[in-house]
Structures are given as C-alpha cells and as structure tokens.
Amino acid sequence: MKLRKVTAAAAAALVLSLTTTACGGDDGDGDSGSGSGSGGGDKIKIGIKYDQPGLGLKEPDGSFSGFDVDVATYVAKELGYEADQIEWVETKSADRENALARGDVKFIAATYSITDERKAKVDFAGPYLLAHQDLLVKADSDITEGTDLNGKKLCSVTGSTSAQNVQDEIAPKAQLREYGTYSECIAGLQSGAVDAVTTDDSILAGFASQEQYKGQFKLAGLKLSNENYGVGVKKGDTETVNKINDALEKMVSDGSWETAVKENFGPANYKNEEAPKIGQIVQ
C-alpha cells in the first residue's frame, strides 16, 4: 500500500484542526472542578434536592428554587461561576456521600446535616443554617407543645425517625402515621387525616410557604433537635472547603443570607436562628 507524503503545510493544517476541535464549544457536562469558570464553557456540578419546596425544588419549567439553591448559587459565583454555568444534580439523601466520592458533583447543598458519622466520609463547609426538628400544625390548632400530641395523629415519612423520637421521648400516646412523602403528610394535615407533621422546621416552612398552603399552617416552634446544615465536599478537598467558608461568611455579611431566608421561608412565619458561625456546631 502506498503512503501519501504529508507536506508541512498539510501537517500544520491538521494540527490546527485538532486544536480547534479540542478547544471548541463545550456541549457536554463540563468541568465539575473548581476552575475559574471564566471561559471555555466550564461548568460546575452542584448537588441539591429536587423535591423540597423552599430549599431545593425543580420547578415545572425546569428552573430551580429554594434556600439551598440560593446559597449554592452565591457560593458558585464566589468560586468564579455564573448562574448559567451551574449544572444542578439531584442528590438524594442516601447517595450524597457516594456522589462526592465519585466526583459527580463539586459540592452539595441539600439539607445536609453535619454529623460525626458523615464527617468520617466527607468534609463540610459551614454550617450555613441551624434548623430544628419541629411540628407543623393547622393555623387554628391547639397543639402548642409536644405533650399535646398524646392521642393525636402524627405524620412523618416512611423510614424517618422523627415521629418515633417524638413518641419515645415526648408523647408516648401519639398515633404515628407513615406516608411515602412529606407532600402526602402535608395533604393529610390539610384534610384532617393527621393532626401534625414532624421533620426539620426548615423543610416544614418550605412546604407551608407554597402558594396553595399560605395561611393554613403554622410551626409549633418546639426545637426538638439541632440540625446544622453544611455544604458537603469531597473528603480531603480542604481548598474548596476554605473557599466555600469564605463565600458563606460574605453572604452573611452583605445581607444576602438574610434575604434568602425571608424569601424562601417568610410566608410560613419561620423564626430562623441567626446565621451560624463557620465551624460552630450546635449540639
């Protein structure tokens, strides 16, 4: 077989063609790393929840809303990424550690409570919100303290320990009801099938702030536990943790944090704690 002789000009053209192809428009997933995000179509992948109103919710039009989304968007901007360079990735609770270990996402902001068990697997920036286990009841409910749940129907999702904790420690005669999702619990509360719903107050406030529920529910404000929400980062990535902590401190100092709290939880009269100090874990 004859080999054609490649001229210098042809070789140069070939090299130029390959270079152009390699650097051309990025229509793939992009870079989930901590690059500058200042060009080349670089993207950052961020893990959030898709099904928690007020925190992380995928809207019908494909956009995303919620406090965690606002926090993550602010942090991404401080890392050098504009909003259109963010690729949102659904990270369900059971897969958060694996998503970070695999490098599926750069960081996760998804009602991710900081615990010693989780810190053995991932690193955390923050915390950026102190939440508490609480009760959501109807606006005219006479339930004002935990013991009022004795004889009442208390809802939580299947697999959650929240309702069981209430029964074990506060109201032994509470009648537990397990539904598949919090949306079902909220619908049960609205219809009267249950008397109260329990989980983190931030999650409850997010649901209660939805347009169809405004004014119907209230938080009991019991503070049954402390949940320190942190931003999860791959274990050992201290550089990214430090950058995110700097971003969180700036978000608080310039007022953006408070604005995000009011916009996402305000309709439920959520009495949030002050922004926690970085590294300050409330037991």
- DSSP for 48-92 reads E-SEETTTEEE-TTS-EESHHHHHHHHHHHHTT--GGGEEEEE--
pLDDT of residue 41: 59
Is the per-residue pLDDT at 36 higher than 70?
no
Cut 0.85: pTM above it:
no
Residue 195 token pair = 């008397």
Each residue's pLDDT tens digit, 216-231 = 999 999 999 999 999 9
Amino acid at 184: E
pLDDT of residue 8: 40
pLDDT of residue 271: 86
CA distance 218 to 102: 40
**Residues above pLDDT 90, as percent of the chain:** 75
User: If you average pLDDT over residues 105-128, what whole number do you get?
Assistant: 96
**Residues above pLDDT 70, as percent of the chain:** 86
